[in-house]
Amino acid sequence: MFATSTSHVMFSSDSDHLCARNNQADKALLAVVKISIALHYDYFFVETMNEEARNRLLTKLSKRKGPIVQMGFGLHAGKAVQGAIGSPRKLDATYISESVERAEFLESSTKTYGVPLLMSETFYNLLDSANKYRCRKLDQLILLSAENDSLVDPREILDSGEKMSIVSES
């Protein structure tokens, strides 16, 4: 779960330098922004390729908008259980919870909304106000649980579903 401690965020228009201290939500957002910026340095990904392969790849991807490597990010805050899953030969750490599923849903929805980053309102509310003004609300969804699958009347769905707002960095 993300901490809601007081944060100190500095933004300088001279250097466009963003810094987050003491607030885990601000740190997570800053990490995503830094990764997104790094993905735009296409030469890093193709510099080790031979010239022929590099030219073929760049020609193939020239019609596609954006950098060569594209990633989507979903940010949500909540509780999770951490554990090891696997066999005695290979163990993997994993996190299991509804919050993890929501973050995964947000990440997969970045393609639908055409943005690289989506965050839940829960995560957005943990951000320092200096970072909140850089975000915009995109949508509000109604999340239905498995027991509500049989509902067909839209009014029943609106009354029984949990509402989740989706926010993106502008």
Cα separation values, 125 from 15, 69, 128, Å: 27, 30, 8
Tell me if 131 is assigned to some domain.
Answer: yes
Number of domains in the chain: 1
pLDDT of residue 19: 55
Is the per-residue pLDDT at 117 higher than 70? yes
Tell me if 99 is assigned to some domain.
Answer: yes
pLDDT of residue 159: 52
Q: Which domain holds residue 94?
A: 8-169
Q: What percent of the chain has pLDDT over 70?
A: 72
pLDDT of residue 73: 92
Mean pLDDT of 90-105: 88
Cα separation values, 84 from 61, 78, 87, 91, Å: 39, 20, 9, 6
Is the per-residue pLDDT at 69 higher than 70? yes
pLDDT of residue 21: 64
Tell me if 164 is assigned to some domain.
Answer: yes
Residue 52 Cα to chain centre, angstroms: 35
CATH number of the domain that residue 119 is part of: 3.30.70
How much is the mean pLDDT over the chain? 75
Tell me if 126 is assigned to some domain.
Answer: yes
Q: What is the pLDDT of residues 8-33, one digit of tens each?
A: 333 333 334 555 667 888 898 889 88
Dist CA 124 CA 25 (whole Å):
8
Mean pLDDT of 69-77: 88
pLDDT of residue 150: 54
Q: What are phi and psi of 74, to 5 degrees?
A: -120, 125
pLDDT of residue 23: 84
165: helix, strand or coil: strand
Q: Which residue has the higher pLDDT, 72 or 1?
A: 72
Task: Name the least confident of 41-45, 68-72, 91-95.
Answer: 41-45
Mean pLDDT of 104-115: 88
Tell me if 3 is assigned to some domain.
Answer: no
For residue 25 the two structure tokens come to 């939500």
pLDDT of residue 12: 38
Residues 120 and 167 sit within 8 Å (Cβ to Cβ): yes
Tell me if 124 is assigned to some domain.
Answer: yes
Tell me if 135 is assigned to some domain.
Answer: yes
Tell me if 139 is assigned to some domain.
Answer: yes
